[in-house]
């Protein structure tokens, strides 16, 4: 009498078990990798061609972020300073410092300093700096207390969940417009002014996208 299933079907349960085991292993590895600071770049602190101390410049000296990152209020990107910007001060302050030689060479040749990017959004992510800072979102919310960093590191995860937490509750992350570039300021919520923050959300028509197409373009 012929059998209902071919003899090869006897190995099917084992094949299923092996397939499920491999799939579970791949899924676990992917979730582990893509959820770790290594992937999210948290703590990334590259060596720059010039040891620019943000703690000294933005912290002790109180230089406004916009002096170096001049386009942050006007464009999607936050520009890095040109050698001219640096030389506005360092033509007279420590003009012969060997640490500033790359700046002097850049100023003389016109070739940009090869700064190493710390915060890099994937190509499929759209982020507009001007939209955020012009609606009361401080640099600190995404970059941490840069004014206390001798060497800047990647302080926040910038994961999709990180962004969505803010987009779902923007009022908790807003500051007075005058305090956006004051890196020691507190959010309106932390000042006990959450009602004012909610009013700003309404008055400024803050409607952060939560759909995929809002940020993945």
Summarize the confidence of residues 52-68 as an average pLDDT: 97
pLDDT at 3: 62
Which comes out higher in pLDDT, residue 217 or 147? 147
Model confidence, pTM: 0.81
Q: Name the residue ranges covered by the structural domains of the chain.
A: 7-40
Summarize the confidence of residues 14-34 as an average pLDDT: 80
pLDDT interval class at 36 (50, 70, 90): low
Share of the chain above pLDDT 90, in %: 78
Tens digits of residue pLDDT in 125-162? 999 999 999 999 999 999 999 999 999 999 999 989 99
Of 79, 84, 48, 47, which is closest to residue 66 (Cα–Cα)? 79
Instruction: Report whether pLDDT(1) > 50.
Output: no
Whether the Cβ atoms of residue 133 and residue 180 lie closer than 8 Å to each other: yes
Long-range contacts of 98-104 (CB under 8 A, 24+ apart): 99/50, 99/51, 100/50, 102/49, 102/50, 103/50
Q: Would you give the end-to-end CA distance of the chain in angstroms? A: 62
Whether the Cβ atoms of residue 140 and residue 183 lie closer than 8 Å to each other: yes
User: Nearest-5° angle of CA 41, CA 44, CA 47?
Assistant: 145
Q: How far apart are CA 109 and CA 7, in angstroms?
A: 77
Summarize the confidence of residues 4-12 as an average pLDDT: 70
Tens digits of residue pLDDT in 86-128? 999 999 999 999 999 999 999 999 999 999 999 988 888 999 9
Average pLDDT of the chain is 91
Q: For residue 200, list its beta bridge partners.
A: none
Q: How far apart are CA 82 and CA 80, in angstroms?
A: 7
């Amino acid at each position: 009498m012929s059998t209902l299933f071919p003899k090869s079907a006897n190995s099917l349960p084992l094949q299923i078990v092996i397939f499920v085991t491999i799939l579970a292993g791949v899924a676990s590895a992917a979730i582990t990798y893509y959820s770790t600071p290594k992937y999210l770049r948290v703590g990334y602190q590259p060596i720059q061609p010039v040891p620019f101390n943000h703690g000294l410049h933005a912290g002790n000296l109180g230089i406004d972020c916009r002096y170096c990152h001049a386009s942050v209020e006007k464009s999607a990107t936050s520009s890095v300073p040109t050698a001219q910007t640096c030389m506005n001060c360092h033509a007279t302050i420590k003009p012969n410092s060997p640490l500033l030689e790359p700046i002097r060479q850049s100023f003389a040749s016109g070739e940009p300093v090869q700064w190493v990017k710390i915060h890099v959004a994937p190509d499929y992510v759209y982020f507009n700096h001007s939209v955020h800072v012009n609606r009361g979102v401080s640099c600190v919310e995404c970059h941490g207390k840069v004014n206390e960093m001798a060497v800047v590191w990647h302080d926040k995860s910038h994961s999709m969940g990180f962004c969505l937490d803010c987009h779902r509750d923007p009022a908790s992350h807003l500051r007075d417009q005058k305090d956006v570039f004051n890196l020691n300021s507190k959010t309106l919520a932390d000042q006990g002014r959450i009602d004012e923050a909610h009013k700003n959300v309404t008055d400024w028509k803050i409607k952060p996208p939560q759909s995929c197409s809002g940020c993945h373009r």
